[in-house]
Amino acid sequence: MNAFTAFAGPDTLTGRLPLRSFATDRAEAEPIAIFHCPTADRFAAQADAIAAHVSTHGYAVVEAWDAETATLSEVAARFGRVQSHIRADANGLVGISVDTVVNREWEAFRSEYRGVSTEEFLPHTDGSYLQGLVREGDHYLQLLPPGMLLLQCWQPASSGGGNILVDGQRVFHDLARAHPRHHAALSTKGCVTYCRDDQIALDCAVFERLRDGTAMLRFRYDAAAFVADWAIEAFHLLQNEYFANPAYQIRLALGTGQIALVDNHRMLHGRDAFVNEQPGKGRSMRRVWLSREGLPVLRNAAGQTPEKRALKRCEAYRILEATAALTATPSLGIRPAA
């Protein structure tokens, strides 16, 4: 089977296949779906199909009509509310220029932010370190890692920089069959804590059960992870036998204007190291987070909305107001085996 599947209504891709899949050690590589959207109207007509594909496969790729920031915002608005980031602009976009960044405090701790380097970034859950409360009107939302992330390629690297995806749902079920004891340990709250800069998520599970019956994957394998003694063997096994195993990896080389939509509660994503050989012609990607619908709501027992210093650190990751009606919301997270 061809590793590329184009979804373009009556049209097809014009022979240009810039996105590549390098799934290995598998009987048959999963097809990479490229939704060809030469206009905003064509995208709107395919939004439901794109959402359905993310629900089934954990990700999809949109070949958009251009590579502008407004296009990324328009695509994102169809699928969820934007969740901001400490390196984002006022619209929640983490992009090429730092001139529009709202919060500059992170720059004093630049080494904590792997995304700004050219080094390899192992497959991970974006926002794995997020845990807290953000105020929204007269109530508070429980802060979780974003439900989805969108990556827009403005300019690919001249060498390296390929994106890596790992399907946590496949790993979840394979681990349960092969290593039930380790699966149980990693599904227990308290097995791991993640800390990045001023953010800390205490007593987490790698596979955390949510109220809707799905599991949320929360994982990264670097100095941000603090693992309980009783789970350390399982944590290393998960990385070495599964997440770092090429048989579980899908590699993408996004072309200019292509946008990857990723279920962040199911898929890990990472990046190869890359080289920027010429000034102004290096790898340039934009990113936006989308919050998961139905986040737990909390209300102050005294009916107050007090200002708490402990919550100040969460404000950079608040959920922004929707800019358009959500018309295509994917089902997110790891689902139980049928």
Identify the three-state secondary structure at position 206: coil
Of the candidates 150, 204, 184, the residue with the CA atom closest to the CA atom of residue 328: 150
pTM over 0.95: no
Output 287 or 279, whichever has higher pLDDT.
287
Find out if CATH 3.40.50.300 is the number for domain 4-317: no
From 90-99, 196-205, 298-307, the region with the lowest mean pLDDT: 90-99
pLDDT at 22 over 60: no
Of 10, 31, 9, 12, the closest CA to residue 20 belongs to 31
- The arithmetic mean of pLDDT across residues 272-299, rounded, is 85
Please say if the pLDDT value at position 218 is more than 90. yes
Are the CB atoms for 132 and 141 separated by under 8 Å?
A: no
Structure confidence at residue 119 (pLDDT)? 79
Q: Which residue type, as a one-letter code, is found at position 196? A: R
Which residues, in sequence order, are bridge partners of residue 220? none
313 or 100: which leads in pLDDT: 313
Residue 101 — very low, low, confident or very high, per pLDDT cuts 50/70/90? low
Q: Name the band, by pLDDT with cuts 50, 70 and 90, for residue 237.
A: very high
Task: Out of 14-18, 136-140, 257-261, give the one with best mean pLDDT.
Answer: 257-261
Name the more confident of 119 and 313.
313
What pLDDT is attached to residue 273?
82
- Distance from CA of residue 174 to its chain's centroid? 22
Q: Is 132 left (phi over 0), alpha (psi -120 to 50) or beta?
A: left
Q: In which band, very low, low, confident or very high, does the pLDDT at 307 lie, cut at 50, 70 and 90?
A: confident
Q: Is the pLDDT of residue 229 over 70?
A: yes
Is 243's pLDDT higher than 60? yes
Helices (H), the chain: 40-57, 69-77, 168-178, 180-186, 232-237, 309-312
* Residue type, position 302, single letter: A
| Res 253 pLDDT > 70 | yes
215, 207 contact by CB (below 8 A): yes
Q: State residue 12's pLDDT score.
A: 31
Q: What are the extents of the domains in the chain?
A: 4-317
pLDDT per residue over 152-163, tens digit each? 999 888 777 889
The pLDDT, as a whole number, for residue 23 is 39
The band of 31, judged by pLDDT with boundaries at 50, 70 and 90, is low
**In this predicted structure, what is the pLDDT of residue 275?**
80
pLDDT (0 to 100) of residue 157: 82
Mean of per-residue pLDDT scores for the chain:
86
Lowest mean pLDDT among 62-66, 93-97, 125-129, 319-323: 93-97
Q: What is the pLDDT of residue 153?
A: 94
Count CB-CB contacts under 10 A for residue 74.
17
Query: Residue 337 pLDDT more than 90?
Result: no
pLDDT surpassing 80 at residue 87: yes
Higher per-residue confidence, 116 vs 75: 75
What three-state secondary structure class fits 243?
A: helix
Task: Report pLDDT digits (tens) over 155-214.
Answer: 888 777 889 999 999 999 999 999 999 999 999 999 999 999 999 999 999 999 999 999
Which one, of 58, 87, 64, lies nearest residue 259 by Cα?
A: 64
Residue 277: per-residue pLDDT: 64
The pLDDT value given to residue 324: 76
- DSSP bridge partners of 83: 289, 319
pLDDT in tens, 133-150: 999 999 999 999 999 999
Backbone angles phi, psi at 204, to 5 degrees: -95, 170
Is pLDDT of 111 > 80? no
